[in-house]
Amino acid sequence: METLTSVLNQQYENLKVYEDLLQTNQLTFEQVGELSGEVLFYTDEDFNLRYLNREGRDWIGLSSGNSKNIELDFNEKFYHPDTLQYELPKVRNFFENQQLGSIYSNYQQVFNSKINAYCICLVIFKKLKSVCYGYLTMTIPISKFVGLNKKMLRIISEEMFRDSHRCQFNQLTERESEILKLLAVGRNNPEISDDLFISRHTVEKHRKNINRKLGIHGFKDILDYAYAFDLV
């Protein structure tokens, strides 16, 4: 049975082999892409697409003859907006501060044209130097990992939610965070008023501010923030 760790280690090694084959001109990007069996693509240092293999074109619903048409808006079609805003800058920062040969991996939301929805994927970046400057990137849907249980899926989802909603959460005052925590464990306005020794009117005012800052529309939204930011 394949586990997340075993797959990750194997793909790390694969990326190193692919890099060596490319840098020594033993294989082209097209040939390496055929070897992979996973979604594999190459971007320049500004994340502009330069190559996308057959699995990648199939993933986003692109025929082999139209690969050039995707270069200008590949990131917008492939990645979730939160990934573009928060995750790709992390990738750039990582490689600016790490030794050559390092590999970066994280979980990202990637659009799958077959189901017309975003899927959580393990995305692995290897920065190329010398002959090719840019990033060789492999994307693997976590649904392929047989050993990935529900608990791990929940942890991954919470991690992604935390990364993409950190700016909103950081807008909360200390008192608002305290009230959000109480709301998550089921306390109502009168109970929160008694717990914190503040008026009900003040509680209602704080709740309105919390709803506005976080875009809260129901109890599920409260729980999403509470679990992701370790309030409960």
Cβ partners under 8 Å of residue 188, min gap 6: none
148-164 tens-digit pLDDT: 556 666 766 777 678 77
- pLDDT band (50, 70, 90) for residue 1: very low
Q: How far is the CA of 71 from the CAs of 67, 98, 101, 133, in angstroms? A: 7, 28, 26, 17
Q: What type of residue sits at position 6?
A: S
Q: How far, rounded to the nearest angstrom, does the alpha carbon of residue 205 sit from its chain's CA centroid?
A: 34
44-55 tens-digit pLDDT: 888 889 889 989
180-204 tens-digit pLDDT: 999 999 999 999 999 999 999 999 9
CA distance 135 to 88: 11
Q: What local confidence, expressed as pLDDT, does residue 184 receive?
A: 92
- State the average pLDDT over residues 46-69: 78
Domains of the chain (ranges; CATH) run 4-144 (3.30.450.20), 171-228 (1.10.10.10)
pTM as predicted: 0.65
86-126 tens-digit pLDDT: 788 888 888 887 776 788 888 888 888 888 888 888 889 99
Higher pLDDT, residue 135 or 82? 135
